[in-house]
Structure 1
Amino acid sequence: MSMITIIGRGHSGTRAISRTLWESGVFMGAPLNQSSDLLPPEDMYDACRVLARFVQWKGDLDWDWSALHTMEIPTEFTDLIHRYLKSVLESTAEHKGWKIPETTLVYPWVQRLFPDIKYIFWIRNPRDCILNRHKTDDLHDFGIDYPATEDLRRQRAISWWYQYKLVQATPQPANWIEVRFEDFVLKQDETLARLEDFLGIKLVKIPVNPEAVDRWKTADGESYYDFLAPAMRKYGYEIPGN
């Protein structure tokens, strides 16, 4: 029996891998919405707010998550996560898992609660991620402080950066793979082969839309902020002026 979860900010294309897993026979919990998120989400949202109490904002785009790695995880958090994952944890399916973007906000403690499951870190060019609204745009809704801004795209970019840095600051688990959404779309066979090797199961090939890549190029408004450059460079995304 194996358990799988997907880490990645909203609008990273995590729906594609969740659907792939579901159609490949992985039980992804029940019920699911059209984005293949496990519902209802309220317990997960509340778990995010519990963890946020122990995140220290140091000003600007700098946060300290170090306490999360060693402190005792509050029972309140554990109860919320177990309640949210009830259908998954009680399932006798050979392969099971879940997906909801807010898992990224609680990743350090989810990893400590479930150290042996398989983690898929799903990445997408932040310039595409921030084009549309998502629940996690305003981190204040989840108890996280960040620099005030009236620029909605900048707010989304800060959310993307926060979640990226949170993942980077967390010790990597034993079972970890990083996948770019763009590779899943444009190099699907090659990417599925990597995932099959990692997961140890055969995956179906779902329809994908190449036009989902680089939508920022035809979108109105700003989609790039300088603080995103290190992450974009790391994952091979085009940086203006380079």
Structure 2
Amino acid sequence: MLITVIGRGHGGTRAMSHTLSASGVYMGAQLNESGDLIPPEDMYEACRVFAHYVEHRGGLNWDFSRVLTGPIDPEFVRLVESFLASVLQSNAPRRGWKLPETTLVLPWIVRMFPDAYFIYWTRDPRDSILAPHLTDDLSDFGVPYERTDDVRLRRAVSWRYQYEIMRITPPPRHRIDVRFEDFVLDQEATLKRLEAFLGFELARIPVRPESVGRWRSDPGPYDFPFFPRHCLYCNGER
């Protein structure tokens, strides 16, 4: 079984990675404190290869048709397999990985690993963009967009781009959608859903309820009109 966690940086994906590790899933030979598989450089370069096939149509519009229908670049395959070498070569019955930048190349990851189990992880974007992340400036990964010097807006655009990638990618054979807020505020019910999806028992890790709704005490800006309203989380109501 191969498992991967898909979600933007600062989306709380470390909670899922730590849960999988604590549950006996082999998450790679070397992990950082966030539960990311490292070193990440080959995946970063794979993101840049992928970005060559994405066309920016202006504003918040991108054309992903080439990555959805065209062949996967062989260099991309080589880089991803190099990044995942310790995972792919492991004899562990349950293997997986987590690296937020995987989201930037989701369509080709789904095509490369059609039998993998995908955990689509989301968090209220108002919380996700409060802190800096490597993917804040999409141009660092070769993604074309209208760059801005407004740091929060730049993060918000990056969030929207990754939202669009997840939206347009044909659903994997094995997929479950999980909200960070549900994992934190109703961990037991969320883990039961995940256990039914994965087919094995999961460990319970400590969570911090105060990590939900941090945007409320932030001076802002933290909300943008292009955040889909259904992605926001307000006391359990979206």
Counterpart of 1:192 in structure 2: which amino acid? L
Q: Report matched runs for 1:25-44 at 5 Å.
A: 25-44=24-43
User: Displacement, 1:237?
Assistant: 2.6
Distance 1:236 1:191 in 2: 18
Distance 1:190 1:23 in 2: 18
Q: What SS class does the counterpart of residue 6 from structure 1 fall into?
A: strand
Q: Find the counterpart in structure 2 of residue 123 from structure 1.
A: 122
- Which deviations, in whole Å up to 9, do the C-alpha atoms of 1:67-106 show, x marking residues without a partner? 1111111110000000000000000001010000000001
Q: What SS class does the counterpart of residue 226 from structure 1 fall into?
A: coil
Question: 2:37·2:99 contact (CA, 8 Å) conserved in 1?
Answer: yes
Question: 2:126·2:232 contact (CA, 8 Å) conserved in 1?
Answer: no
- Which deviations, in whole Å up to 9, do the C-alpha atoms of 1:169-214 show, x marking residues without a partner? 1100110001000000000000000000000010010000000000
Work out whether 1:237 is the aligned partner of 2:236: no
Q: What SS class does the counterpart of residue 216 from structure 1 fall into?
A: helix
TM-score scaled by length of structure 1? 0.95
Counterpart of 1:139 in structure 2: which amino acid? L
User: Displacement, 1:234?
Assistant: 2.4
Q: Find the counterpart in structure 2 of residue 226 from structure 1.
A: 225
Moved more, 40-49 or 140-149: 140-149
- Which deviations, in whole Å up to 9, do the C-alpha atoms of 1:34-81 show, x marking residues without a partner? 111000000000000000000000000000101111111111000000
TM-score scaled by length of structure 2? 0.97
User: Displacement, 1:236?
Assistant: 5.1
Distance 1:98 1:159 in 2: 22
Q: Find the counterpart in structure 2 of residue 175 from structure 1.
A: 174
Distance 1:201 1:19 in 2: 16
Q: Which runs of 5 or more residues in structure 2 are unaligned?
A: none
- Taking only the aligned residue pairs, the percentage that are identical comes to 55
Q: CA RMSD in A?
A: 1.1
Q: Which runs of 5 or more residues in structure 1 are unaligned?
A: none
Distance 1:14 1:39 in 2: 15
Work out whether 1:155 is the aligned partner of 2:151: no
Distance 1:141 1:128 in 2: 22
Q: Report matched runs for 1:13-24 at 5 Å.
A: 13-24=12-23
Q: Find the counterpart in structure 1 of residue 56 from structure 2.
A: 57
Q: What SS class does the counterpart of residue 98 from structure 1 fall into?
A: strand
Q: Find the counterpart in structure 1 of residue 85 from structure 2.
A: 86
Q: Find the counterpart in structure 2 of residue 189 from structure 1.
A: 188
Distance 2:59 2:218 in 1: 28
Q: What SS class does the counterpart of residue 44 from structure 2 fall into?
A: helix
Q: What SS class does the counterpart of residue 203 from structure 1 fall into?
A: coil
Question: 2:123·2:180 contact (CA, 8 Å) conserved in 1?
Answer: yes
Question: 2:138·2:144 contact (CA, 8 Å) conserved in 1?
Answer: yes
